[in-house]
Each structure stands twice: as structure tokens, then as C-alpha cells.
């Protein structure tokens, strides 16, 4: 089966605020950090620009950039609990069917036919 991967983006409001803060840090980089620290200032400004850009994409476009990823192992206990849910569903159907038969709402032939159908599903 494999793994299922879900990519997650931050919310629009959070990203818009991150974009504004990123722009402030880019300006600080150009005005203060590059003139004082040289190569480190260039690195600072580049990182701030990347932060501003990624937040812009998440906040103002539909495309966006994922910040993290959730991996679901489809062969884990989720599959087992899914089959248990199916067992519980069949059990509930059989109990309901028996209740209908006991109340006289369906006859014996209908009861047996439906019971057989449910068990074949299982």
C-alpha cells in the first residue's frame, strides 16, 4: 500500500504577518546589517528575503508552499481498526435485521436472504 503524504501550509493571516516581518528584516538588512557586517549582512538579507517570499506565496496566492508534511503509514493499526469498523458495521446490520425479524416486520425468507447477503459482504 505505501504511505500517504499530506502537505501542510500555514494559515493566510499568519503568512501575511510573516511577510510583513520578513520585509522589515530585509530593510534592516539593506540599511544596517550589510553596511556593518558585509558578507554576513548579505546572508542575513537573503534569508530574510526568502522568508518574506515564502510567506507572500502562502498569504497572498493560492499556490503556497508547504511548511511541513504529515506521513500516514497505511499499513499501520489504522488499517486494522478500519477492518474492525467493518466488522462492527456488519454486526450492527445483523442485530438490526434480527430485531426486524423478531418484531415480525420481515418474514423468515427475507431474514435469511438479507442475513446471507450481509455475511457475503463480510
Reported as a single tens digit per residue, the pLDDT across 26-85 is 999 999 999 999 999 999 999 999 999 999 999 999 888 888 888 887 665 444 455 566
Q: What is the mean pLDDT of residues 85-96?
A: 81
Bigger pLDDT: 89 vs 85:
89
Provide the 10 A C-beta neighbour count for residue 94: 15
The full set of domain ranges for the chain reads: 3-73, 77-121
What's the chain's length in residues?
122
| Average pLDDT value for residue range 111-119 | 89
> How confident is the model at residue 24, as a pLDDT?
98
How far is Cα 90 from Cα 88, in angstroms, rounded to an integer?
Answer: 6
- In angstroms, the CA 60 to CA 10 distance is 12
Which of 121 and 46 is assigned the larger pLDDT? Answer: 46
Using DSSP, state whether 66 is helix, strand or coil.
coil
Amino acid at each position: 500500500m505505501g504511505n500517504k503524504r499530506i502537505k501542510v501550509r500555514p494559515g493566510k493571516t499568519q503568512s501575511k504577518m510573516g511577510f510583513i516581518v520578513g520585509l522589515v528584516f530585509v530593510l534592516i538588512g539593506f540599511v544596517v546589517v550589510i553596511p556593518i557586517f558585509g558578507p554576513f549582512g548579505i546572508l542575513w538579507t537573503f534569508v530574510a528575503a526568502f522568508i518574506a517570499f515564502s510567506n507572500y506565496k502562502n498569504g497572498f496566492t493560492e499556490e503556497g508552499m508547504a511548511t511541513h508534511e504529515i506521513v500516514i503509514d497505511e499499513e499501520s493499526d489504522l488499517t486494522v481498526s478500519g477492518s474492525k469498523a467493518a466488522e462492527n458495521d456488519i454486526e450492527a446490520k445483523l442485530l438490526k435485521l434480527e430485531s426486524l425479524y423478531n418484531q415480525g416486520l420481515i418474514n423468515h425468507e427475507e431474514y435469511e436472504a438479507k442475513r446471507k447477503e450481509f455475511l457475503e459482504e463480510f
